[in-house]
Chains A and B, each alone.
Chain A
Amino acid sequence: MSTDLTRMTAAALAGAIASGEASAEEAARAHLDRIGAVDEKVHAFLHVDTEGALRAARAVDAKRAAGEKLGPLAGVPLALKDLITTEGVPTTCGSKILEGWIPPYDATVTKRLKDAGVVVLGKTNMDEFAMGSSTETSAYGPTGNPWDLTRIPGGSGGGSSASIASYQAPLAIGTDTGGSIRQPASVTGTVGVKPTYGAVSRYGLVAFSSSLDQAGPCARNVLDTALLHSVIAGHDPMDSTSIDAPVPDVVAAARQGREQGIAGMRVGVVKEFAGEGYQAGVEQRFREAVEVLRGLGAEVVEISCPHFTYALPAYYLIAPSECSSNLARFDAMRYGLRVGDDGSHSAEEVTALTREAGFGDEVKRRIMLGTYALSSGYYDAYYGQAQKVRTLITRDFDAAFAAVDVLVSPTTPTTAFPIGERVDDPMAMYLADLCTIPSNLAGNAAMSVPCGLAPEDGLPVGLQIIAPPMADDRLYRVGAAVEAALTDSWGHPILEEAPSL
């Protein structure tokens, strides 16, 4: 085999495997080799499941040999965020408290991937329990951005974004509570989608903030992202918040966008996401992307969503509140770390000693913040008020989507910042999710797609496309159109400008 299987798109690789040009095992080995070659530098993976991956790949090859029909991503390798349970394979959520935990069950997402013949290579690094925007809060050390290993790959899903940007996997799964799929995609020059809340089952997704968490697809291009989206999305009776309705045809939408464009679509530019705090190069590339949309025949208008400026404070009340409760189960009684069980400490003390030793600073901060916001006497002013802001933000979206088909903004205000820069400045770190958070609060769908490199630092900039709930297909149509136009203008996919590792 002369072609480098790690450089192919997922769609092309699946085609090659289906036609017999390449075997799934070859594809898995090529990616495992790539991991072996570069991941020491990138540190995208917390666990590589070599045996499991090869076994799954061989099963796909056997199926093909038996003449069975293969799914559209059968045999394609994937990197799975370490927040999603995998039976028999460690799941740590980037935390010491779950070091070595081997779940006795598969998440629904894991199950769907396996059923589709997708080959899970391993588990990717992340901010501890998905709390962070840089992957620096991982208990297992940071991940480097393949564009510049001294910079962050975004977070919390930095391992997933870095793995695909460095060709260690063509596909990855992320989870997005406040931007953890889209912001990493933006700063690594890849594509990431947060589907409509409820589109992808949360069963087996270790909860950070239950009413905001959503798993989604990550890839190097829009079509691959759509293919993965359609594998993982769909109703799951194990998740009470799962949507019991057909999944929009995102693959068809991606093809339509690429082939037919977006003429006649109405695009709204969110007025509030600009100005102070936004890097000049980010604003520049964003403005250019808007012009590309206009050039593709879209009608572009400016839209004001006045309550979006309250999204960040509301988010930093709701997410910590829910997490303070969700993470209470890590108590050293049934699984995970146990510290201080020497006969002299009570269960309560062992729990407190274990949580002190097993959680990092950001997790502790958020647990205490959430505990505070839910306390009697504070509930109404904080949690209660944040839930009202949530309603107002949803109303802003409703009004906007009455006027336009999609909204656009920069995905994140800056390009990848240096590792260490914001690590003990929570407020600065939180700003990374300024533009992504409203969609988590309202539950609608949003995508980040590359729109160029910032002139001042040569690092990727992401365009965020936002669609109404259950209109995920619009993201793919618009994303694919922009991607095609920009790739044409650059002459090659943006990732080809990344330095080789």
Chain B
Amino acid sequence: MPGITREEVAHLARLSRLELSEKELDHFATQLDDIVGAVARVGEVAAEDVPPTSHPLPLTNVMRADEVRPSLTPEQALAAAPAVEEQRFRVPQILGED
């Protein structure tokens, strides 16, 4: 298995929205490389015919009826918002597509 490079860590940080410092990039690159090296052991298990498990319990079809339940009030919904304007969540400029 290939290890993780500093460039890859920078890419992962971008994907996961972490504005890492240069120092952190170095630090995490070493650590993540170690960890990935260790967890890559899962590849040792030949498991062509083994089905993956995504849920520990074999449940299916858990659904609810289409019945309205009370919502929060707008005050409750917005209570923890860092910024509010016109009863809406105020967020910084969203980068446009063109």
Structural contact, B57 and A385, CB atoms closer than 8 A: no
Q: Is A427 among interface residues, defined by CB-CB distance under 8 A?
A: yes
* Chain B residue at minimal CB-CB distance from A242: B62
Given contacts A371-B12, A382-B42, A426-B35, whether A333 and B91 have CB atoms under 8 Å apart is yes
Q: In the complex the two chains form, is B64's CB within 8 Å of A237's CB? A: yes
- Which residues of chain B (35-76) have a CB below 8 Å from chain A? 35-36, 38-45, 47, 50-57, 59, 62, 64, 72, 76
Question: Would A104 and B56 count as touching, CB distance under 8 A?
Answer: no
Closest to B34 in A: A427
Q: Hey, which chain B residues are within 8 Å of A139, CB to CB?
A: none
Contact B43 A388 (CB under 8 A): no
Size bracket of the B interface: 35 or more
Interface residues of A in 178-226 (CB under 8 A from B): 197-198, 211-212
Closest Cβ of chain B to A223, distance in Å, is 28
Contact in complex: A367, B18 (CB < 8 Å): yes
Q: Which residues of B contact A372 (CB under 8 A)?
A: 4, 8, 12, 32, 36
Given known A104-B79, A307-B45, contact A347–B57 (CB-CB < 8 A): no
Q: Number of residues in A with C-beta < 8 Å to the partner?
A: 69
Q: Does A21 contact B (CB under 8 A)?
A: no
A396-423 interface code vs B (CB 8 A; 1 in, 0 out): 0000000000000000000000000000
Instruction: Report chain A residues within 8 Å CB of B52.
Output: 384, 387-388, 390-391
| Of A101, A371, A385, the contact of B43 (CB 8 Å cutoff) | A385
Across the interface, which residues of A come within 8 angstroms of B19, CB to CB?
349, 352-353, 355-356
* Cβ B95 vs Cβ A348 within 8 A: yes
Tell me whether B87 is interfacial, beta carbon within 8 Å.
no
CA distance A382 to B54 in the complex (A): 14
Q: Is A469 a contact partner of B34 (Cβ separation < 8 A)?
A: no
Q: Contact between B18 and A381 (Cβ–Cβ < 8 Å)? A: no
Does A334 lie within 8 Å of B35, measured CB to CB?
no
Provide the main secondary structure of the chain A interface.
helix
Q: Within 8 Å of chain B (Cβ to Cβ): is A313?
A: yes
Q: In the bound complex, how far is the Cα of B77 from the Cα of A359, in angstroms? A: 24
Q: Mark the stretch among A261-269, A270-278, A335-343 that contacts chain B.
A: A335-343
CB distance from B42 to the nearest CB of A (A): 4
Is there contact, CB below 8 Å, between A338 and B95?
A: no
Contact partners of A324 in chain B: CB under 8 A: 16
A350 within 8 A of B: yes
**Chain B residues within 8 Å of A212, by CB:** 56
Contact of A427 among B21, B38, B44, B50 (CB under 8 A): B38
**Contact between B95 and A346 (Cβ–Cβ < 8 Å)?**
yes
Q: Does chain B have a CB within 8 A of A368?
A: yes
Set of chain A residues within 8 Å of B12, measured between Cβ atoms: 368, 371-372
The answer for the CA separation of A394 and B31 in the assembled complex, in Å, is 30
11 contacts between A and B (CB under 8 A): A310-B41, A310-B45, A341-B82, A349-B19, A350-B92, A364-B18, A381-B1, A382-B39, A382-B40, A385-B42, A391-B47
Q: Which residues of A contact B (CB under 8 A)?
A: 101-102, 104-105, 197-198, 211-212, 237, 240-241, 243, 307, 310, 313-314, 316-317, 324, 328, 331-338, 341, 343, 345-353, 355-356, 359, 364-365, 367-369, 371-373, 375, 381-382, 384-392, 394, 426-427, 441-443, 469
Closest 7 CB pairs of A and B: A443-B56, A387-B52, A335-B80, A338-B82, A388-B47, A356-B19, A390-B53
